[in-house]
């Protein structure tokens, strides 16, 4: 069964830029996968950052951007801040009404 | 403002049943897909089930097929998740979710604990 892959962890320096990726164990991610990105702090519900590859959800600052890089979806955070330290999840549309989340990336800002 | 409020979680024994509800407001409920997403303690997000705006299309993740039933009542702006034959691995926070093309709005979640 195809799974959605993400880096388990990543670190970035304050003020730096980081790119997280979202791929498929078999095949390539395209805009037809409608990639989305979410962030979640401990004990809180997730919040949507990006949907349909590169559209920012309401109220999301332009430090967050989405794209397709090679055969993966990507989330780029520029000017990383301390409160960007949290978990990031991607989602892909697998077809036939099925959506699937990646395993999540724990981002550390230090 | 979109609001989604889950209820019905709690402690249930293995093999038992539970029904979750989600009360929605702030948008035209009858025009939107609805879904349930769960998160086991310390784990990632898992898409569980979704239902089309008119209830005519329904999808489930394989691990809950035959045990869970998603439904909705557009007159009451509510969706439901009937869960039966519950297992320890169903223990999770269950989130009510809606949106278009992945632009998701989330409830605060309700905790379901399956344990004897």
Mutate which: B102, B106, B110, vs A, most A CBs within 10 A = B102
pLDDT exceeds cutoff 90 at B35: yes
Compute CA distances B116 → B37, B87, B109, whole Å: 24, 10, 22
Q: Are A37 and A29 in contact (CB under 8 A)?
A: no
Assess A56–B contact: CB distance below 8 Å, yes or no. Answer: no
Assess B103–A contact: CB distance below 8 Å, yes or no. Answer: yes
Query: Could you tell me the pLDDT band of residue B101, with boundaries at 50, 70 and 90?
Result: confident
Q: What is the pLDDT of residue B102?
A: 86
Residue B60: exposure state from Cβ atoms within 10 A (0-12, 13-18, ≥19): buried
Residues in A closer than 8 angstroms to B33, CB to CB, are none
Interface touch B101/A91, C-beta < 8 Å = no
**Strand (E) or helix (H) holding A37:** strand A36-40
Neighbours of B76 (CB within 10 A): 12
Question: What average pLDDT score do residues B90-114 get?
Answer: 95
Distance CA A47, CA B105 (A): 7
Question: What average pLDDT score do residues B51-68 get?
Answer: 95
pLDDT in tens, B11-33: 999 999 999 999 999 999 999 99
Query: In chain B, pLDDT over 70 holds for what percent of residues?
Result: 100
Q: What is the pLDDT of residue A97?
A: 85
Q: What is the pLDDT of residue A96?
A: 84
What does the pLDDT profile of chain A (110 residues) look like in tens digits? 899 999 999 999 999 999 999 999 999 999 999 999 999 999 999 999 999 999 999 999 999 999 999 999 999 999 999 999 999 999 999 988 889 999 999 999 99
Q: What is the pLDDT of residue B100?
A: 84
Q: What is the pLDDT of residue A1?
A: 86
| Nearest residue to B107 via CA among A37, A47, A52, A50 | A47
Q: Are B111 and B8 in contact (CB under 8 A)?
A: no
Q: Are A74 and A68 in contact (CB under 8 A)?
A: yes
């Amino acid at each position: 069964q195809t799974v959605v892959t993400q880096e388990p962890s990543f670190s970035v320096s304050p003020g730096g830029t980081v790119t997280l990726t979202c791929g498929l164990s078999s095949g390539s991610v395209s805009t037809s996968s409608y990639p989305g990105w979410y962030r979640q702090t401990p004990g809180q519900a997730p919040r949507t950052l990006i949907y349909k590859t590169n559209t920012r959800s309401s109220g999301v600052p332009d430090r967050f951007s989405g794209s397709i890089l090679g055969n993966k979806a990507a989330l780029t955070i520029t000017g990383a801040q301390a409160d960007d330290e949290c978990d990031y999840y991607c989602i892909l549309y697998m077809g036939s009404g099925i959506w699937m989340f990646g395993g999540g990336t724990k981002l550390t800002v230090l | 403002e979109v609001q989604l409020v889950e209820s019905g979680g709690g402690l249930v024994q293995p093999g038992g049943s539970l029904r979750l509800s989600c009360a929605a407001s702030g948008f035209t409920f009858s025009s939107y897909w609805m879904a349930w997403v769960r998160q086991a303690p310390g784990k990632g997000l898992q898409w569980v089930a979704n239902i089309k705006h008119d209830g005519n299309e329904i999808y489930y993740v394989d691990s809950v097929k035959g045990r869970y039933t998603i439904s909705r009542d557009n007159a009451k702006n509510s969706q439901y998740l009937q869960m039966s034959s519950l297992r320890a691995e169903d223990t999770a926070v269950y989130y009510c979710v809606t949106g278009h093309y992945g632009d998701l709005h989330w409830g605060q979640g309700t905790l379901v604990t399956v344990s004897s």
